[in-house]
Amino acid sequence: MSLYLSAKMKHWIAAFRLKTLPLALGAIVLGSTIYLDNFQWKIFGLAALTAVCLQVLSNLANDYGDFKKGTDKHRTDRQLAGGNITPQAMLIAIVSLTILVLIVGIYLLNISFGDNANYWFKFLGLGIASIIAAITYTVGQKAYGYNGLGDVFVFIFFGLVGVIGTSFLFYQELSTLAALVAIAYGCLCVGVLNVNNIRDLDKDILTNKITLASKFGKVGAETYQTLLLTGSFCAFVGHHILADSWSLAPLAALLLSLVHIRKLKKAKQTTDYNAQLKFLSIGSLIVALLFIIKIG
């Protein structure tokens, strides 16, 4: 029995795709530290938990949606396609995580906004929109991930909503400084998605899954990747100039970009692209952490 449970847990952990979690946490780190004088550990912890749960929810829904559409029928690394988890069990997990996100999110809103009904309900709507976006990336007949809109939604929810929304939980004010950081991080997150889509380019074309990479082609998608990472660097620099305060984040973003682009252009096998997915995801979190340390 213990061996059976251990094996099942292994499959669920694989379905959670833990390597994607640093990307979700990076947005919370950045949004929480734009204005350090307003930082509160409780808000940070709840926001981080909400982001992690949303990311896991998105990963499970992605596994389910791709399985239902037959996109993953030739893959053994996906848990439904590999027969390791049943569709019914996956649906239960998706519903359970949705409820958990709502509970944690509502508690977070109570801590941040108290009896400010205006902010409370606006952010509740934003939270519900985030849940819907996490699920409908691949689930449903009009899944936006199959219609070339994945990049737009990732930029909005990982970048703008993730960073600016988190900052608002602390500071309760919109600012250009937060917007620039959100743009910088959003570009990094879209870059991670683009690597995934370059890796799956041939398969996506065969299964009629429309992504920007499938539209641009491999060379065009690599050029797009360079533009995304250049945009991230420029937005970080713009923030630091406007704030008149510097950190190592822009330099880290630049070095990350140079190394990543060089290796991406040399990538041939799936393992090469997977390595770059991990490299860019963890590297983005490191950039976020270095943003905290001010050097001038």
Per-residue pLDDT at 235 exceeds 80: yes
241 residue type, one letter: I
pLDDT at residue number 101: 96
pLDDT at residue number 66: 85
Q: Which of 11-20, 64-73, 179-188 has the lowest mean pLDDT?
A: 64-73
pLDDT at residue number 140: 85
- pLDDT confidence tier of residue 206, bands split at 50, 70 and 90: confident
Per-residue pLDDT at 254 exceeds 70: yes
Per-residue pLDDT at 283 exceeds 60: yes
- pLDDT confidence tier of residue 6, bands split at 50, 70 and 90: low
- pLDDT confidence tier of residue 107, bands split at 50, 70 and 90: very high
pLDDT at residue number 2: 53
Per-residue pLDDT at 10 exceeds 60: yes
113 residue type, one letter: F
Per-residue pLDDT at 52 exceeds 90: yes
pLDDT at residue number 251: 96
pLDDT at residue number 79: 80
Instruction: Count the Cβ atoms, other than its own, within 10 Å of residue 55.
Output: 22
Handedness of CA 165, 210, 184, 253 (dihedral sign): positive
Per-residue pLDDT at 255 exceeds 60: yes
Average pLDDT value over all residues in the chain: 91
Per-residue pLDDT at 28 exceeds 60: yes
- pLDDT confidence tier of residue 239, bands split at 50, 70 and 90: very high
Of 110 and 2, more confident: 110
- pLDDT confidence tier of residue 83, bands split at 50, 70 and 90: confident
pLDDT at residue number 73: 67
Per-residue pLDDT at 166 exceeds 70: yes
Tokens 């509160």 sit on residue: 40
Residues in CB range of 233: below 8 A, 6 or more apart: 184, 250, 253, 254, 257
pLDDT at residue number 203: 85
Q: What is the mean pLDDT of residues 20-49?
A: 93
Per-residue pLDDT at 1 exceeds 70: no
Per-residue pLDDT at 285 exceeds 80: yes
Q: What is the mean pLDDT of residues 233-244?
A: 96
